[in-house]
């Protein structure tokens, strides 16, 4: 079955540091890949997505590239802010597109 | 345009009881999906409803059931509650069933505690 593995947190960074959160997946077929973010006290929000190999998703300074050869979708940001502190989830959709499989989440804490 | 709203926000039930959780989808959305998020874990897909019919189900037993109403709102029912059912239950609505073509908007969830 499909599965997503992401690096365990928490990840603690200073403001303006470079961020990488690793995500790898196992899936049959050609899944779409997603990053969701959960800010404290809020629901999950879509951060970015990529629907085919070599696509790059980007939003709010975050980006991730769909790498089929390494089955990865690592999240990066060049300069994090305190407001980026949240839990980040990597996810994929099945071939029918109706189901998301999530990783376990990575908590990011950014200190001023 | 209102977002996805879930009720109640918190709930405590006793093992063996039954519970109903409710979700109002975002305006214009015809599809609702339910997820279970245990503490410290990622959400797990329970099922999806489209046009009042179940459209896909995850690895959950039949005591987890759902409904979707003509106004696209939805209910999640869990019978014979077990301690392991304690979790945050998330509802997501979307305009269509294929999440990669559209976007799923999540509610803030219902925190269920089974004692």
Whether B90 sits inside 8 A of A104 (CB atoms) is: no
B101 close to A32: Cβ distance less than 8 angstroms: no
Report pLDDT digits (tens) over B24-75: 999 889 999 999 999 999 999 999 999 999 999 999 999 999 999 999 999 9
CA angle B90, B95, B98 (to 5 degrees): 80
d(CA B74, CA B1): 18
Nearest by CB to residue A49, choosing from B41, B58, B100, is B100
- Give the dihedral of Cα atoms B73, A92, A83, A54; nearest 10 deg: -130
Q: In sequence order, what are the beta bridge partners of A88?
A: A37, A106
Is any Cβ of chain B less than 8 angstroms from the Cβ of A89?
yes
Nearest-CA distance B50 → chain A (Å): 10
Report pLDDT digits (tens) over A77-89: 999 999 999 999 9
Q: What is the mean pLDDT of residues B69-95?
A: 96
> Which residues of chain A neighbour B104 with C-beta distances below 8 Å?
46, 100
Nearest by CB to residue B56, choosing from A51, A91, A96, is A96
What proportion of chain A, given as a percentage, has pLDDT over 70? 100
B29 close to B93: Cβ distance less than 8 angstroms: yes
A71 close to A24: Cβ distance less than 8 angstroms: yes
């Amino acid at each position: 079955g499909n599965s997503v593995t992401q690096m365990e947190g928490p990840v603690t960074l200073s403001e303006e540091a470079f961020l990488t959160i690793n995500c790898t997946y196992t899936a049959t077929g050609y899944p779409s890949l997603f990053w969701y973010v959960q800010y404290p006290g809020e629901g999950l929000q879509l951060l970015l997505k990529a629907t085919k190999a070599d696509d790059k998703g980007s939003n709010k300074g975050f980006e991730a590239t769909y790498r089929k050869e390494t089955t990865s979708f690592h999240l990066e940001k060049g300069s994090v802010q305190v407001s980026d502190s949240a839990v980040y989830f990597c996810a994929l959709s099945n071939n029918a597109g109706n189901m998301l499989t999530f990783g376990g989440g990575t908590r990011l804490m950014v200190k001023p | 345009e209102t977002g996805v709203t879930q009720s109640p926000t918190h709930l405590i039930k006793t093992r063996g009881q039954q519970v109903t959780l409710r979700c109002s989808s975002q305006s214009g959305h015809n599809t609702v999906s339910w997820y279970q998020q245990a503490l410290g874990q990622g959400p797990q897909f329970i099922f999806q409803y489209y046009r009042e019919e179940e459209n896909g189900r995850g690895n959950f037993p039949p005591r987890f059931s759902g409904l979707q109403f003509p106004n696209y709102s939805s209910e999640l029912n869990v019978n014979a509650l077990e301690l392991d059912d304690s979790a945050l239950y998330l509802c997501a609505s979307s305009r269509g069933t294929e999440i990669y073509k559209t976007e799923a908007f999540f509610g803030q969830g219902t925190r269920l505690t089974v004692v």
